[in-house]
Amino acid sequence: MQPPEPVEHSRTIQCVCYAHSVMETGAAADRVRHTPVDGGAQLFTPPFLDYLVRLHDEFAPRARTLLRSRAEVLDRALRHGMLPGPLPPSPVTTETWQVPAVPADLGRPGIEISGPCSITSMFINALNPGPEGERAEGDLDDDEDSAGHRLVDTVRACHNRVAAVNRELTYVDRARGKEYRIADGELPFFMHRERGIHLDEPDVTVDGAPVSAAILGTALTLYYPGRAQADRGQGIYFYLPKVESAEECAWYRDLFDRSRAQLPFLKNAVIRAIPLVESLPAVYQMEEMLHALGPYAAGLNAARWDLKASVFEFTMADPKSVWPDRFGVDIKTTPFLANIFRRLVAVCGKRGAVPIGGMATALPSTDPEVNRAAAAAIHADKAWEAEQGFVRAWVAHIFHMKTAAEPFKQLSASGRKPKPETANPENYPIRIEVPAGPITVEGTRRNARMVIEYLEGWLGGRGAKGIDSLAGKPGVHPALMEDLATARMSVAQIAQRIRHHARTTDGPAAVHDFALAKTLLAEEGEDILARLKAKDAEMEARYRKAVKIAMRWIKNYTELDFKSLGAYTRADLEKIAAAPDAF
């Protein structure tokens, strides 16, 4: 992966204006402060700031209320052992209703390519055909878990999205002498993913208070690329990350409504949203979340890593809920997790929505045997999802797009229709269990390596990084494109084992504690550095900081502080790296 790049495209964003008074615009601009970043002045115009402030005034207080409700649900689980559960039956679950007709492109079987749209070369590659000449059906242009969670990333993402919609996005890598351009032909449809409601953007403030990252990202996307898409007759589609309740989906519904009212060019635009089911509370409210989105509902996505991390967090205080090595917990062969996915498909079938599956993260290798093994694993995974009724899923690299897409396309082409029972959510009751499998030091070591590698990338401005957590180990194992969800899950598993002094069940006998975790982090940090073929002092410093930050992050989790890495500024992380070890 390349480091973050400056925006290089052939046209700058034009100011988008709508009817308002000069006085109101001036008042809004006076209330907003933002850190200067490359490309920011083109976006933070008086008309945009007027729109942003109106959204902030109406939706920031509601967001804070929703976050307090979240905290109460988590507290009940941690302090009183009361896990989230289903809501009482209501007309939403018992009466007949359907989401509005899903746009044709969103119902297309195949694959969506995912990646940070702030990294221009990666974004262009994602929009172009893969090595076998086929494009993805959709593009998940991400400013969330695979992005850097900085204002500059959000600004670059906005510029790049506009240029991509207008087919004007280019990038020149002068160091490599390579030019990137969008190839001819139909582009994938765009699925925008902004940061979630739980995060703020500290570099943009209104009246001195940080603006919600969800409000900022959604506002920028609707105002700039949204207008470009509306002008071209394209649907404006969003993934909604980290939502935990129907009330949070209603918040997005109202934000879309208010944006339509304020921005005339959105009046007749098609706007749709797909919640990511990646938190334990959301698992129990899938129908309610679709209903709450009203005219914007389109489908549900079955997230994997964040869902596992959420289960870790909600059960962190329970000594009976310690998981085995997470690497062996496969959705396909773990009945209670498979049932959650089947229930999601059933909810979508019952309500006319589109079910979207999970991510295939394998990266291409120079070793053909590694690529063959990766392709076989991806095909088996996507064939299972297609058999369950998913219409599409995600892939992290264009190299594997065709392999990942084929099972969905083949099943759709066969004309096979889902059985009626697969559209009844009650056939798939939710139970949260502890999977079968071993607890090993090597599993904990692999988590430690993953966190260090990810944090090094984060400190370098990347939210996604190719990582081989088995580097140096025997066997065939491709590197995987990992994002924030993987690091969160790895931290949570290490912390859970420390908190409950988990004993290994296979391999060398050991009891998990801070001393063991520190040893593993130190050993893996040194091994990573020893294996690097090319490194400089700056990279080595990032890895050493990553070890220290990993300790602080793990310690926080053992203390039931699950603050997202994305909630820390880079200055915060530098202070942690300079402080004494957390343990």
pLDDT digits (tens, 9 = 90+) for 519-537: 999 999 999 999 998 889 9
Question: What is the arithmetic mean of pLDDT over 148-162?
Answer: 98
Q: Are residues 398 and 517 in the same domain?
A: no
| DSSP assignment string, 515-583 | HHHHHHHHHHHHHHHHH-SS--HHHHHHHHHHHHHHHHHHHHHHTT----GGGS-HHHHHHHHHSPP--
Of 334, 324, 427, 313, the closest CA to residue 73 belongs to 313
Q: Residue 19 above 70 pLDDT?
A: no
pLDDT tier at 186 (50, 70, 90 boundaries)? very high
Q: Are residues 478 and 344 in the same domain?
A: no
Whether residues 399 and 497 fall in one domain: no
Looking at the domain assignment, is residue 241 inside a domain? yes
pLDDT bracket for residue 4 (50, 70, 90): very low
Q: Are residues 260 and 338 in the same domain?
A: yes
**Mean pLDDT computed over 266-289:** 98
Nearest C-alpha neighbor of 508 from the set 443, 436, 437, 558: 443
Q: Are residues 359 and 455 in the same domain?
A: no
Is the domain of 37 the same as that of 151? yes
Q: Is residue 432 part of a domain?
A: no
- Is residue 228 included in any domain, yes or no? yes
Q: Which pLDDT tens digit goes with each residue over 393-414?
A: 999 999 999 999 999 999 999 9
Q: What's the chain's average pLDDT?
A: 94
Identify whether residues 360 and 461 lie together within a single domain. Answer: no
Residues 392, 455, single domain; the answer is no
Residues 176 and 252 in one domain: yes
Q: Does one domain contain both 419 and 445?
A: no
Per-residue pLDDT, averaged over 44-50, amounts to: 97
End position of a domain, from candidates 398, 427, 456: 427
DSSP letters for 136-166 = -SEEEEESSTTS--SHHHHHHHHHHHHHHHT
Residue 436 falls within a domain, yes or no? no
Nearest to 517 by CA among 550, 545, 542, 489: 550
CATH number, domain of 136, equals 3.20.20.360
∠ CA 309-276-109, nearest 5°, is: 125
The separation between CA 276 and the C-alpha centre of its own chain, rounded to angstroms, equals: 8
> According to the model, what pLDDT value does residue 25 have?
40
Q: Which of 399, 427, 455 is the C-terminal boundary of a domain?
A: 427
Whether residue 198 lies inside any domain: the answer is yes
Q: How far apart are CA 357 and CA 411, in angstroms?
A: 15
Asked if residue 1 belongs to a domain, the reply is no
Mark which of 427, 456, 487 sits at the end of a domain.
427
Q: Which domain holds residue 475?
A: 441-578
Q: Are residues 385 and 347 in the same domain?
A: yes
CATH of the domain at 558: 1.20.1220.12
Length of the chain: 583
pLDDT digits (tens, 9 = 90+) for 325-382: 999 999 999 999 999 999 999 999 999 999 999 999 999 999 999 999 999 999 999 9
Domain annotation covers residue 4:
no
Residue 512, in any domain of the structure: yes
Question: What pLDDT is attached to residue 62?
Answer: 98
Token pair of 522 as six digits: 């130190």
Radius of gyration in angstroms for the set of CA atoms belonging to the chain, rounded to a whole number: 23
Report how many domains make up the chain.
Answer: 2
Q: Please indicate, yes or no, whether residues 214 and 103 belong to a single structural domain of this protein.
A: yes
What is the value of pTM for the model shown? 0.95
Can you read off the two tokens belonging to residue 342?
């089947």
Let me know the angle formed at the C-alpha of 240 by 239 and 242, rounded to the nearest 5 degrees.
130
